[in-house]
């Protein structure tokens, strides 16, 4: 008897795709709303919160730190904050599941408090490097103990008084920048973070909206200096979370590569630190029209109309990586359908995401009949006329799973992804939303 394995999913050649969708709330902004809301004095309300597993882990963690967090209805949440420095010592291990952003930002929160917090995560998260967070926090007086090889589980204990510092980020990482700023909120002096290449700036925007004493200077070479004066009260806010461009990316590329498609994706966050994929696809010849640009909670959003397009290969420079760091797997899928060889440079950080995304993408594309060259920092994808499809391993990584399902929709034979459960971490409605546009998936028989 054939056994159906619910974890496996197959995407079949589909199309044309048509219709209108709204992507789920932005994951980065959702995490920050819950965390910064927990540090304000009074009640913050949030609309459009992403209710994916990663963000739900953050809600649970903030409850562990004593904040009162309630869900009023779909996407509608309230957070009763405890004030800067007012979090309480958790009486449990804080488990962030698959979420690197959640845990790294929460390590920054923990560093601002003179008690011990122990963190852990799932099989993917306990293999990801944490020294990049711990090292700057230690300079501020925070104590940290990690499992050997700088991995989780680990314990953070903040000092009685956080020491201010000036710190130049050695890697372009919004997570590291944000962890430092969250610790610095409870510091009597001014902390300065210098980022040579700007990464997503949602923490700075949100802290400013909450009334933090933060200012930013830009050097002649484009480096940003972020100064934060700590020990200021934060005022609760009403937040509306814009749609996640990193989730919209899957529908955008699907519409481009599935012949005859015409899809509208509404309410997409257009913060310039997040739009590298759109810029790159437009350079490749994509038909993407942006309409009704508007402001939402201190961020810009717009509606995108995407039509199937003949794509041409480009070289994506290393400086663009921070503005599209999560989008390389889906860009590599678009590149497989483009004419010529697409080169993506400066991708070292992809090796330490939810999986080693460089090798996951390279192996997945090869399994689908696409030629790929991979070295330490760059990836070359040779576009072909007819992409065959095949069987792909998701490696416990939501973006790998979704990227290859999208490839399957435009492939000759379809794509089976071995385990799609992690999609629930960032885009729980991925399947129904894509089905609504005309995508076909099924659950293939197990062995």
33 binds ligand S3P (CB under 6 A): no
DSSP 8-state symbol, 424? G
CA distances to 6, 236, 268, 304 from 209, in Å: 43, 9, 20, 27
- By DSSP bridging, strand 190-195 and strand 224-229 are antiparallel
Please, which residue, 173 or 420, has the CB nearer to ligand S3P? 173
Q: How far is the CB of 246 from ligand S3P (least distance, A)?
A: 7
Per CB under 6 A, the segment of 5-13, 123-131, 168-176, 329-337 that binds ligand S3P is 168-176
Site for ligand S3P in 143-162 (CB under 6 A): none
Q: Which of 33, 98, 124, 175 binds ligand S3P (CB under 6 A)?
A: 175
438 SS3 class = coil
Q: Which of 326, 359, 331 is nearest to 344 (CA)?
A: 331
Q: How far is the CB of 166 from ligand S3P (least distance, A)?
A: 20
Please, which residue, 130 or 409, has the CB nearer to ligand S3P? 130
Q: Is the dihedral of CA 72, 75, 76, 78 positive or negative?
A: positive
Helices (H), 76-115: 100-111
Cα–Cα distance, 306 to 297 (Å, whole number)? 25
Q: Is the dihedral of CA 107, 110, 112, 114 positive or negative?
A: negative
49 binds ligand S3P (CB under 6 A): no
Catalytic annotation, pick one of 201, 244, 303, 326: 326
Q: How far is the CB of 241 from ligand S3P (least distance, A)?
A: 13
Please, which residue, 47 or 327, has the CB nearer to ligand S3P? 327
Tokens encoding 395: 């490696």
Cα–Cα distance, 190 to 192 (Å, whole number)? 7
325 binds ligand S3P (CB under 6 A): yes
Query: Catalytic annotation on 54?
Result: no
326 binds ligand S3P (CB under 6 A): yes
Helices and strands (H, E) in the chain, number of each type: 12, 24
Please, which residue, 117 or 247, has the CB nearer to ligand S3P? 247
401 binds ligand S3P (CB under 6 A): no
Per CB under 6 A, the segment of 151-159, 170-178, 302-310, 401-409 that binds ligand S3P is 170-178
Number of residues that bind ligand S3P (CB under 6 A): 10
Please, which residue, 303 or 354, has the CB nearer to ligand S3P? 354
User: For residue 167, how far is the Cα from the chain centroid?
Assistant: 24
56's enclosing H/E stretch is: helix 53-64
| Residues with catalytic roles | 326
Residue ranges binding ligand S3P (CB under 6 A): 28, 101, 173-175, 178, 200, 325-326, 349
């Amino acid at each position: 008897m054939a056994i159906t394995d619910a974890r496996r999913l197959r995407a079949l050649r589909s199309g044309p795709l048509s219709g209108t969708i709204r992507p789920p709330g932005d994951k980065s902004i959702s995490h920050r709303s819950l965390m910064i809301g927990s540090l304000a004095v009074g009640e913050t309300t949030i609309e459009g919160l992403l209710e994916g597993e990663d963000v739900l882990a953050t809600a649970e963690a903030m409850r562990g730190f004593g904040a009162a967090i309630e869900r009023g209805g779909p996407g509608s949440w309230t957070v009763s904050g405890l004030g800067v420095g007012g979090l309480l010592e958790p009486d449990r291990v804080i488990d962030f599941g698959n979420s690197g952003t959640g845990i790294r930002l929460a390590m920054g929160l923990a560093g601002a408090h003179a008690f011990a917090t122990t963190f852990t995560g799932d099989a993917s998260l306990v293999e990801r490097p944490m020294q990049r967070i711990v090292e700057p926090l230690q300079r501020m007086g925070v104590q940290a103990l990690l499992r050997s090889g700088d991995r989780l589980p680990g314990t953070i204990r903040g000092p009685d008084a956080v020491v201010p510092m000036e710190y130049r980020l050695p890697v372009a990482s919004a997570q590291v920048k944000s962890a430092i700023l969250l610790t610095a909120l409870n510091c009597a002096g001014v902390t300065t973070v210098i980022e040579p290449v700007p990464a997503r700036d949602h923490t700075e925007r949100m802290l400013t909206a909450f009334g933090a004493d933060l200012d930013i200077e830009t050097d002649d070479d484009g480096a940003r200096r972020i100064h934060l004066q700590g020990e200021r009260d934060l005022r609760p806010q009403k937040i509306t979370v814009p749609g996640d461009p990193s989730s919209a990316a899957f529908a955008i590329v699907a519409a481009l590569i599935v012949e005859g498609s015409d899809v509208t994706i509404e309410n997409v966050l257009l913060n310039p630190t997040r739009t590298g994929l759109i810029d790159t696809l437009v350079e490749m010849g994509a038909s993407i029209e942006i309409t009704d640009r508007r402001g939402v909670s201190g961020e810009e959003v717009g509606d995108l109309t995407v039509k199937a397009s003949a794509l041409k290969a480009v070289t994506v420079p290393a400086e663009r990586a921070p503005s599209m760091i999560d989008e390389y797997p889906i860009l590599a899928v678009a590149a497989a359908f483009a004419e010529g060889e697409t080169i993506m440079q400066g991708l070292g950080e992809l090796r330490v995401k939810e999986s080693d995304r460089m090798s996951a993408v390279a192996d997945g594309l090869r399994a689908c009949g696409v030629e790929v060259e991979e070295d330490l920092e760059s990836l070359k994808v040779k576009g072909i006329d007819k992409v065959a499809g095949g069987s792909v391993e998701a490696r416990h990584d939501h973006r790998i799973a979704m990227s290859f399902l999208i490839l399957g929709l435009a492939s000759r034979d379809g794509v089976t992804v071995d385990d799609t459960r992690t999609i629930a971490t960032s885009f729980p409605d991925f399947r129904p939303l894509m089905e609504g546009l005309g995508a076909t998936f099924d659950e293939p028989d197990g062995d």
